[in-house]
Amino acid sequence: MEKICVLGAGSWGSALAILLSKKGYPVSLYMRNKDQYESMTKTRENIKYLPGVIMPNNIEMTTDLKEAVDEAKIIVLGVASQGVRGLLKSIKDYVKDDQIIVNVAKGFEKGTNLRISEVVKQEIPNNHYVILSGPSHAEEVSKDMPTTVAVACEDMNIAEYVQDTFTNPKFRVYTNPDVIGVELGGALKNIIAFGAGICDGLGYGDNTKAALMTRGIREIGRLGMAMGASSSTFSGLSGIGDLIVTCTSMHSRNRRAGILIGKGKSLDETLDEIKMVVEGILTTEAAYKLSKEYNVDMPITNEIYKVLYGDNEVKESVINLMLRSKTHEMEEVAMDEN
Ligand SMILES: NC(=O)c1ccc[n+]([C@@H]2O[C@H](COP(=O)([O-])OP(=O)(O)OC[C@H]3O[C@@H](n4cnc5c(N)ncnc54)[C@H](O)[C@@H]3O)[C@@H](O)[C@H]2O)c1
Ligand SMILES: O=P(O)(O)OC[C@H](O)CO
């Protein structure tokens, strides 16, 4: 079986390395932190990010990027969105054109507001790019709990190759040609999950969350369509599927961060407590700017932006959303789709 390289040994990179190694692939797992390397090679456990799960022996851990990438058929980008460009710059000199890049990060690049596929195209333009996304908490995947995701690639043969590589009886992979839609669904749901957490923190109930999720997927789809995605992708795994899991699961860092903000903690206190990447914070800023650029109405994103980057109180934002001008549900759908 051909070697697979996973770059980044946080929660998701580690869970995917475990999944692939259990299928029998020789996996090379790159981490930049030497202390983490010492600890993981000794204990075969990722104590910080995925405690309690043993890493199989066919995962070779390394802090050497070249060694990790060499001879791998697939290179999985398993770091947070803000780490992707730096990582690509470090590997571009020895990546070969026939190596497939599979990105699993869900976000945009800060400053440029580029999707990860656009960043990859700028740094490593000759390789096939695949986005793997969907409702998939690392904590559950690493314990073999049934999970479904989508993989999107412009070349469906490559999407099917990646589908075959990752599929196992507990991890079902669907293909989709809509790279933009799959990327946007995974990134933008984090804003809504953060909002769902705020509502939980405020002590609101299930009605509120259902409202946020339903209205959230509408504004995600609205921006998505304006950016060239297919509307049907947002009713799939990388759209509504991932929105549901992140808005409802206690595994979600975005939701947990929202809960703390809803309870009155500052952003710094919140990030200190979560200790892992909360993509929704920077994604809110990117989506806010993209909504202006594409002239798309995103009321929930706007309010969360004002909470995070302005001086809105969370309760004030809820009032703003509830008292917006009246809307006809179906006329709005028709308008979005035109
Ligand atoms: N955790 C999940 O369940 C899950 C599921 C699907 C997708 N994702 C996405 O995967 C991405 C990574 O998330 P995570 O949960 O693994 O984050 P995490 O906070 O658990 O870990 C991030 C890891 O990336 C490492 N890292 C960051 N920049 C790096 C660099 N330049 N080189 C090497 N390592 C670097 C950090 O040291 C850390 O180990 C995010 O975009 C997230 O949205 C996460
Ligand atoms: O923990 P979160 O909020 O980053 O969500 C993780 C995954 O995106 C769930 O599919």
For residues 95 and 59, what is the distance between their CA atoms, to the nearest angstrom? 20
Kindly report the backbone phi and psi dihedral angles of residue 149, in degrees, each rounded to the nearest multiple of 5, phi listed first. -140, 170
For residues 290 and 269, what is the distance between their CA atoms, to the nearest angstrom? 28
Q: What is the pLDDT of residue 163?
A: 98
Residue 265 — left, alpha, or beta (φ > 0 → left; ψ -120 to 50 → alpha)? beta
pLDDT tens, position by position, 9-51: 999 999 999 999 999 999 999 999 999 999 999 999 999 999 9
For residues 281 and 320, what is the distance between their CA atoms, to the nearest angstrom? 20
Query: In Å, how far are 16, 84, 97, 98 from 101, measured between CA atoms?
Result: 14, 12, 10, 9
Q: What are 7's two structure tokens?
A: 């770059």
Q: Which residue has tokens 């009032």?
A: 319
Instruction: Identify the DSSP state of 172.
Output: E
Q: Which residue has tokens 């990134």?
A: 187
Binding residues for sn-glycerol 3-phosphate: 106, 134, 136, 189, 242, 252-254
Task: List, in order of start, the domains of the chain with CATH numbers.
Answer: 4-177 (3.40.50.720), 180-337 (1.10.1040.10)
For residues 86 and 89, what is the distance between their CA atoms, to the nearest angstrom? 5
Q: Determine the distance from the C-alpha atom of residue 194 to the mean position of all C-alpha atoms in its chain, rounded to a whole number.
A: 13
CA of 172 to the centre of ligand 1 (A): 22
Instruction: Write the single-letter amino acid at 207.
Output: N
Instruction: Report the nearest atom of ligand 2 relative to the CA of 186.
Output: 8
Among residues 198, 312, 202, which one has the least CA distance to residue 257?
Answer: 198
Low-confidence ranges of the chain (pLDDT < 70): none
Q: Which residue has tokens 């456990």?
A: 45
Which segments of 3-80 does DSSP mark as H helices, in order? 11-22, 34-43, 65-69
For residues 90 and 87, what is the distance between their CA atoms, to the nearest angstrom? 5
Q: What is the pLDDT of residue 331?
A: 86
pLDDT tens, position by position, 165-218: 999 999 999 999 999 999 999 999 999 999 999 999 999 999 999 999 999 999
Instruction: Identify the DSSP state of 55.
Output: P
Predicted complex: ipTM over 0.90: yes
Q: Determine the distance from the C-alpha atom of residue 5 to the mean position of all C-alpha atoms in its chain, rounded to a whole number.
A: 19
Contact 193, 258 (CB under 8 A): yes
Q: What is the pLDDT of residue 338?
A: 77
Q: Which residues are catalytic?
A: 189
Kindly report the backbone phi and psi dihedral angles of residue 201, in degrees, each rounded to the nearest multiple of 5, phi listed first. -60, -30
Which residue lies with its CA nearest to atom 2 of ligand 2? 252
CA of 207 to the centre of ligand 1 (A): 32
